[in-house]
Amino acid sequence: MGDVAKDLAAGTVGGAAQLIVGHPFDTIKVKLQSQPVPLPGQPPKYSGAMDAVRQTLAAEGPRGLYKGMGAPLATVAAFNALLFTVRGQMESLLRSKPGEPLSIGQQVVCGAGAGVAVSFLACPTELIKCRLQAQSALAGAGSAAVAVKYGGPMDVARHVLAEAGVKGLFKGLVPTFAREVPGNAVMFGVYEGLKKFLAGDKEPSELGRGSLIVAGGLAGASFWLGVYPADVVKSVIQVDDYKQPKYSGSVDAFRKILAAEGAKGLYKGFGPAMARSVPANAACFLAYEVTRSSLG
C-alpha cells in the first residue's frame, strides 16, 4: 500500500474517532456562539455551557447533542483523509531525501498547506452542521435565519441551494481559511514538537500510546488559541439569513460582534471548544498513528 493510500485510510479512522468523541462539545459551542444578543435587561438564552447542555437535554434529549452530526459524518472520511494526505505529500516535497525528519518550521508549513486544502470541504460541511445545531438557539428569539425548521443535513442543503445556489454553501469561506490555515499550521507544529520532546533520546516513532494521547490533546488545544474569533465569525455568518442578512461579510460581522458584546463576544463557546479539542484530537491523532503504523 502506498503512502497516499495509508494516509487516506489512517486519516479516515482518525476523523471518525475525533467526531464521535467531540461532536457533543461542538454542538454546545455553536449554540453559545450563535445565540442572539439579548435585549437590554434580558438574560441570554444560555447563561453558559452547562446551561446549554441542560436546556438541550431537556428539550431534545441526548440526540440533541449529536444534532448536525450527519453532515460531518458523511464527509469526515474525506476531510481527515484530505488533511493528512496533503500534509503527507507536502512532507515528501520538503524532504531532501526519503525518510529525512523535518524541522518544526517545515511541519508548520505542511500544516498550513493542509489547512488551505481542507477549507474548501470544511466550509459547506460546517455551514450545514451549524444551521442544524443553531436553529433551536435562534428559534427562541424568532430569528429569520431559522424561520424554516430543517429536517436534517440534506434538507439544509436543499434549502440553501434553493435560496442561494451553490455559492450559498460556501458562505463563510474567508473566516474558514482564517481558522484552518493558521490553526493547522500551529497544531501540526506543536504535535511534532511535543513528540520530539516526549521521545527524548528515542525516535518519536517509538512513543507509547499515552505519549501520543498527550501530544495530540495539547496540539488540538493549541489549534484554537489564536483562531477562535475567526470561528465565531464563521458561525454567525453561516447561520445568518440569506435574503435579509444581518452581516454583509466577515469584517462587518467582526465589527458588529465587538460593538454589541465587546471582545468577550469573540470568545463565546470557547470553554466547550477547548473541552472538546483535547479529547477529540487526542483520539484523532492516536487513531491515525496506530492505523498508520499497522499499515506499515
Question: Residue 128 carries which side chain, given as an amino acid letter?
Answer: I
CA 132 – CA 276 distance, rounded (Å): 19
Q: Can you tell me the distance from the alpha carbon of 232 to that of 254, in angstroms, rounded to the nearest whole number? A: 9
Residues 129-179: pLDDT tens digits?
A: 888 877 766 555 545 444 457 888 889 999 999 999 999 999 999 999 999
Predicted local confidence at residue 144, as pLDDT: 47
Query: How many alpha carbons fall within 13 Å on the CB side of residue 39?
Result: 3
Rounded to 5 degrees, what angle do the CA atoms 188, 289, 80 make?
A: 60
In angstroms, rounded to a whole number, what is the distance separating the alpha carbons of residues 263 and 164? 31
Q: Quick one: average pLDDT of 9-24?
A: 88
pLDDT the model gives residue 267: 93
- Mean pLDDT across the stretch 252-270? 94
Spatial distance between the Cα atoms of 132 and 156, rounded to a whole number of angstroms: 8
Dihedral over Cα of 53, 56, 59, 64: its sign: negative
SS3 38: coil
CB atoms within 10 A of CB 127: 26
Mean pLDDT of 51-79: 83
Q: State yes or no: pLDDT of 293 exceeds 80.
A: yes
The Cα 20–Cα 187 span in angstroms is: 20
